[in-house]
Amino acid sequence: MTKYLISFPSEAMVVAEDDFPAVVADSHAVIEEAKAAGVYVFGGGINEQVEPVQVSSDGAVSPELYPGSQLKGGFTVLEVPTREQAVEWARKIAVACRCAQELREFQYDPAS
């Protein structure tokens, strides 16, 4: 089966404060559904309060990142048999989170 990354940048999720508890409940319900279906791998959100660093090939640590690099927001990794199923899960997550989701397919690596 193929693993898929379903994600959104943090600025995409614009939810009224009163609606936030429902969004949390709905998104958690989709994750529980994915777990029950046996397709959930892991998920979470990038901690934007902690600055990222770049670790170079010589081990040096720097606050400089690749130009244009931005990784923030929430994500879910699922493992499903078809892209169509991945799209359906992305749709469920989009509905629950009240914002569009990006879908990416991981390349298969036989060593992983």
d(CA 71, CA 41): 19
Whether 80 and 34 have beta carbons less than 8 Å apart is answered as: no
pLDDT digits (tens, 9 = 90+) for 58-90: 999 999 999 999 899 999 999 999 999 999 999
CATH topology of domain 2-48+71-105: Alpha-Beta Plaits (3.30.70)
pTM of model > 0.85 = yes
Q: Which of 4, 22, 38, 39 is nearest to 95 (CA)?
A: 22
User: Where along the chain do its domains lie?
Assistant: 2-48+71-105
The confidence score (pLDDT) of residue 29 equals 98
pLDDT along the chain (112 residues), means of 10: 95 94 97 98 96 96 93 96 98 97 94 83
